[in-house]
């Protein structure tokens, strides 16, 4: 591979991710300005300020560490309620954070503080960032789908497995004693086009695969189109074996196995097809986020023990940039395929950033949205019950959770960056 191409493409990918993060923050900034929330800072990066300019009440700029960004909305924490002189550590922590923020709040800011805004306004402000990344993902992936297309599995059979390889030897060749694959026993031939599975009309390879998996080890009757005619193959039970989970490829599940592989055709698609792609990627990303702590632990353990990385495991922005560089320099792929895969990765990163920020835990955007919804539910319940308005939720008391979540994300970022430098995921 050309080292200059790898480095150049990796730097460009990193720069575009930073641009995506900058636009994420714009997604917060614009509605905040629209709803007249006081915004004092808009920065890309963290740490020491490299460059900044003030426009009105807001300072715009870049900081030293390009690993994120933020918009500072004034009045995130409501004033402290009356309380006894003796308070616990959580309350003291909340009051300390509140005091820092209220140092810059003046009487003129009344009505322009975040906590004073209506619930729907808070939700729009906090959802603006993730929605910006979803929009970017849709535009990027939609452009690939519309201009170049993606290789998608077709119902025409391209290969037939000779045997069923045990899950413990996944990826290896057949060995003596391995059972013959059901597809081979049925009499499949390359070029057969699947039409029916157990009497069900098959519309797509994904549907066919799902039917096979659900069939477990029960008899299967497949009708194929061969030479322009429908041919009913021999009825043979599918076999239960370990197959990759569609939503979590790192995990193998017990499911029905037939032993056929599809042909692939490059097809373009419009917005509806792009929406289906993004929905599937969303489901996979949600499963990935649910398993994220365990996966980060596994990456750390594999790095320490010297085990190879899971190609379906999490990577940092450094690893994603490196992978993008390798894709751009892959001489085994045509230039069009390289560009398509490169931009698909960029779209996937944007979608993941959006979903990560929607996790309902502070300090993520979803945590602030959850706080706004909880506040609205309390007020609605009190109004229905005829009780006084309980006032805004004191989100400052959630700071311990924010510190734990923020600390974990920082630690996970360090672990993944080290792993991407020491034992990177190899695509080629």
Active-site amino acid positions: 25
DSSP letter (8 states) at residue 168: G
- The answer to whether 197 and 220 are in contact (CB under 8 A) is yes
- Find the angle CA(401)-CA(402)-CA(406) to the nearest 5 degrees: 120
For the record, the structure tokens of 427 come out as 């695509």
**Cα gap 290→91, rounded to integer Å:** 30
CA nearest 425: which of 304, 251, 307, 341?
Answer: 307
**Strands annotated E in 25-103:** 39-55, 58-73
**Cα gap 346→141, rounded to integer Å:** 9
Peptide bond into 363 cis (omega under 30): yes
Question: What is the phi/psi pair of residue 211, to 5°?
Answer: -65, -40
**Cα gap 69→195, rounded to integer Å:** 52
- The answer to whether 351 and 137 are in contact (CB under 8 A) is yes
Cβ neighbors of 325 (< 8 A, separation 6 or more) are: 5, 6, 7, 8, 9, 10, 13
Buried b / exposed e along 237-272 (16+ C-beta atoms within 10 A): ebbbbbbebbebbbeeeebbbbbbebbeeeeebeee
For the record, the structure tokens of 89 come out as 């550590």
**Cα gap 139→135, rounded to integer Å:** 6
**Cα gap 28→26, rounded to integer Å:** 5
Helix/strand/coil for 325: helix
How does strand 200-201 pair with strand 219-220?
Answer: unpaired
For the record, the structure tokens of 247 come out as 């939503």
- The answer to whether 30 and 128 are in contact (CB under 8 A) is yes
**How many CA atoms within 13 Å lie on the side-chain side of 372?**
20
For the record, the structure tokens of 197 come out as 């599975």
């Amino acid at each position: 591979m050309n080292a200059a191409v790898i480095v150049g493409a990796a730097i460009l990918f990193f720069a575009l991710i930073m641009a995506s993060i900058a636009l994420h923050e714009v997604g917060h900034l614009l509605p905040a300005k629209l709803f007249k929330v006081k915004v004092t800072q808009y920065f890309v990066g963290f740490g020491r300020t490299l460059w900044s300019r003030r426009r009105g009440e807001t300072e715009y700029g870049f900081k030293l560490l390009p690993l994120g960004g933020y918009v500072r909305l004034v009045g995130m924490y409501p004033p402290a309620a009356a309380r006894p002189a003796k308070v616990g550590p959580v309350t003291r922590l909340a009051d300390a954070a509140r005091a820092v923020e209220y140092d810059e709040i003046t009487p003129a800011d009344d009505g322009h503080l975040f906590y004073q805004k209506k619930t729907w306004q808070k939700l729009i402000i906090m959802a603006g960032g993730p929605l910006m990344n979803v929009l970017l993902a849709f535009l990027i992936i939609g452009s690939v789908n519309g201009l170049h297309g993606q290789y998608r599995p077709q119902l025409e059979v391209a290969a037939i497995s000779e045997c069923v390889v045990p899950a413990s030897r996944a990826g290896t060749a057949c060995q003596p004693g391995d059972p013959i694959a059901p597809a081979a026993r049925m009499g499949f031939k390359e070029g057969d086009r699947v039409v029916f599975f157990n009497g069900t009309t098959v519309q797509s390879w994904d549907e066919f695969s799902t039917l096979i998996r659900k069939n477990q080890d029960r008899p299967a009757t497949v009708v194929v189109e061969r030479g322009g005619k429908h041919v009913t193959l021999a009825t043979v039970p599918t076999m239960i074996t370990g197959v990759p989970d569609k939503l979590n490829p790192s995990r193998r599940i017990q499911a029905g196995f037939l032993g056929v592989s599809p042909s692939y055709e490059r097809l373009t698609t419009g917005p509806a097809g792009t929406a289906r792609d993004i929905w599937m990627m969303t489901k996979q990303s949600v499963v990935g986020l649910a398993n994220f702590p365990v996966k980060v632990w596994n990456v750390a353990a594999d790095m320490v023990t010297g085990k190879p990385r899971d190609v379906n495991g999490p990577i940092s922005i450094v690893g994603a940039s490196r992978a993008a560089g390798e894709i751009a320099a892959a001489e085994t792929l045509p230039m069009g395929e390289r560009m398509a895969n490169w931009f698909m990765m960029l779209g996937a990163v944007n979608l993941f950033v959006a979903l990560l920020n929607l996790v309902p835990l502070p300090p993520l955007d979803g945590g602030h949205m959850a706080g706004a919804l909880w506040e609205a539910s309390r007020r609605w319940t009190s109004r229905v019950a005829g009780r006084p308005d309980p006032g805004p939720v004191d989100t400052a008391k959630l700071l311990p959770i924010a510190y734990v979540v923020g600390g974990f994300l920082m630690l996970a970022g360090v672990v993944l960056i080290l792993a991407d430098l020491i034992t990177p995921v190899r695509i080629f």
